[in-house]
Structures are given as structure tokens and as C-alpha cells.
Amino acid sequence: MRHYGHLAPAQRRALFHREPAEFGPASPVRTLGVALGATLYCPATRPRLAADVRRQAASGVVSMVLCLEDSISDAEVTGAEENLVRQLRRLHRECAVADLPLLFVRVRTPEQITGLTGRLGPAAELLSGYVVPKFTAASGPAFLEALTGAEVMSGRRLLAMPVLESPELLHLETRAEGLAAAARVIEKYRDRIPAVRLGVTDFCAAYGLRRSPDMTAYDVHIVASVIADVVNVFGRADGTGFTVTGPVWEYFRAQERMFKPQLRRSPFSGRAEELRARLIEHDMDGLLQEIELDRANGLLGKTCIHPSHVAPVHALSVVTHEEFSDAADILATGPSGGGVLRSAYTNKMNEVKPHRAWAERTMLRAEVFGVARDGVDFVDLLAAGIG
């Protein structure tokens, strides 16, 4: 699979200076963490789940979570498990793994990991792994040990994505120790953890809060503070860090507005003004703003609950030609290099040593999301992704 693989080759060549590389379930864990992009959540109760997965793959989705946890009621769990097993077996009969997104199952209990893997039998080949909800140092080990058991059972590598969303990771008096303890547990399974996910909806729930479509997660200060602390612990560039993914954007229908739209007209002027109007109509301007703030704050990729959110996440994940040029110049000096370089775009300085970690991360993102041609911007990529 590859990002923008659903586009025709000629269209990709027109958009990309360097096209996105192929990756798959067997790729290095670090590569997969960066490549997740917009991870689309889908309740496991959906009666046409197999068809939904195939349809999303055809439209450019590369990672999905089939959810047995908060997206369904307690009374639906047994039926959802049966449906999940039945639908994945059908997918296994009808599709090759390479034609599907990376598939994860969000479970409620450790026992579901081994139970579902056993019930799936050969169809477990379709699973990249499991999402572990409400991960803490106390609850996490049982899930990760179950993952190890499921690997033995299936004879293949399985990955885990912990979700940090428990109140003790938010409350000030327990946050620092809670995050540090969770990090110690996760570190033991580093080769099975492509990304750490943030459950911002649960964090808001702890204080009875819900952000409006006019505001990003970073406007809710209690949430912004915990995002900063999570990145501080899990997102370091010294070799100890993980990919940390961005919070879910909850809105996908027009809402009553209090504030002006956040999308400037100039990037759309004369070529995609209809697209701008459509994005604003469906509150996507707030989503675009939040994606940019995610990346500025050290997050990459995003939890998505609606297919319309996928194209914006991917368009803003592609490395611009300017970013690529700066990163290449910085890394060309070698690991012992230093000093200050003028950007080839003559609009900034590139300080070699402080910017090296940024350049390395940019090149990894360039590998999986590609590098846009000079003159191609997020509007062009978004228009192509939406189709």
C-alpha cells in the first residue's frame, strides 16, 4: 500500500517531486507509526463491515480501527465480536492483505485479544494489531502480555497502540508519575508499538467539557497542557520517543457558527474557491487548523471518525518541496557538521545542529507521504484526495 495509491500514476507524477513509498504490515514499526496518517475508526457492529473496509481502502484510507469499545454499547459487545469475526473471515476469502488498510481492533479486555485471534484463525493474517484503551501502568501490562500470547497463537507479529485517556494521566497530582510509569511499561514493548494515541474526548469528559467546531483542542487549556506533557514524555527526539497521534475531530456536519471561518481565501483564489466553501460548510476549516497545530506540537497522524476527515489529514502530511529542500541541506552536512545555512528558498536560516532532528523526522515523513512538487500546495493535494 502507499499514500495516494488510489490516484492514477499520471496524477501522482503531476503532484509529487518524490512519490510516497510503499509500506505494509511487515514494515519497520517506526515507519508504520509515521505512515498511519488518518486512522479511521469504525464500529464493529456495522453489518457491511467488510464492504466498508474495501471501500475505504479504494478511497485512500491506509489505517483503520474496528472498534469494540466506546463506539458500541455494553449490550452490543457479543454481537459485535461475532460480526467482526464473520466479516474479517469474509475479507480474508475475498481480498489480499496488500489490498486492505492496516487493520487494528480496539478491544475492551485483554482476553479479547487472545480470544479474537483464536476465533479468526487464518483470517488473523489481516490484522496488524490491537488498540489498547485507557492505557496506564496498572492496566497496560495485561493487554501487552495478551498480545504476546496472540502472536504465539497466530505465528506472526502483532502490534499494539496504547491510548492515553485515563483521568490519572490528566489530573495534575498524578499526571507526571502516571505518564512516566506508562512510558516504562511501553518501553519494554518498543518493537511492537507503532504509535501512542491520545484520547482527548475522555480527557474532556473528566471535566465535563466539549470543544465547539470553532475551537481546536489547543484552545481547551486543560487538554493542551496534557498534550504538551504527553509529547514531553513520549515524543522526544533522542531515540526514546514514539509517534504520538493527534486527537479526534468530532464534527462532520454544518454547525451554527459564532466566529469567522479560519481558512484564508488567498490559497484557494481563482482555482478552488468552491472547495473552500465546501470545507467551511462542513466545519473542515477547524479541522485543518487543528492538524497544523498537531504537527507544530509534535503530533503526527490523527484519529478520525468520518471518511471526509481523511483527505485533509493526508494533504497536510505531505512534505512540501521547501521542507524537503531545507531538510536535505541540513542532513547533507553530515552528523558532525554544524553552522548556519541560508535556505535555498532564501527566506530562513537552517541551523544545522538544532534542526537535525527535525530534518530526520521530515525525511521519514517524506518517505511515506511523499514530497510535493515545487508549486504544488495542500489545496492541490486536498482537491486530488477528495476527488
Q: What is the mean pLDDT of the chain?
A: 92
- Its pTM stands at 0.92
Residues 275-311: tens digit of each pLDDT:
555 554 455 778 888 999 999 999 999 999 999 999 9
pLDDT at 286: 84
Residues 329-365: tens digit of each pLDDT:
999 987 777 788 888 888 999 999 999 999 999 999 9
Backbone angles phi, psi at 285, to 5 degrees: -65, -40
Residue with cell 482527548: 200
pLDDT at 158: 98
Name which residue leads in pLDDT, 84 or 335: 84
Residues 173 and 187: their CA atoms lie apart, in Å, by 23
* pLDDT tier, 270 (very low <50, low <70, confident <90, very high otherwise): low
The burial of 95, by beta-carbon neighbours within 10 Å (0-12 exposed, 13-18 middle, 19 or more buried), is given as middle
Identify the helix (H) or strand (E) that includes residue 225.
helix 221-234
> Are 196 and 234 spatial neighbours (Cβ–Cβ below 8 Å)?
yes
Q: Supply angle C-alpha 264, 268, 274, rounded to 5.
A: 110
Residues 204-236: tens digit of each pLDDT:
999 999 988 888 999 999 999 999 999 999 999
Of 98, 223, 116, nearest to 167 by C-alpha is 223
CB half-sphere exposure, 300, CA atoms < 13 A: 26
Domains of the chain: 28-317 (3.20.20.60), 322-386 (no CATH)
Of 251, 250, 274, 277, nearest to 263 by C-alpha is 277
> Are 16 and 373 spatial neighbours (Cβ–Cβ below 8 Å)?
yes
Per-residue CA distances from 129 to 25, 38, 96, 324 (Å): 9, 17, 17, 32
> Are 350 and 341 spatial neighbours (Cβ–Cβ below 8 Å)?
yes
Residues 309-339: tens digit of each pLDDT:
999 999 999 999 999 999 999 999 877 777 8
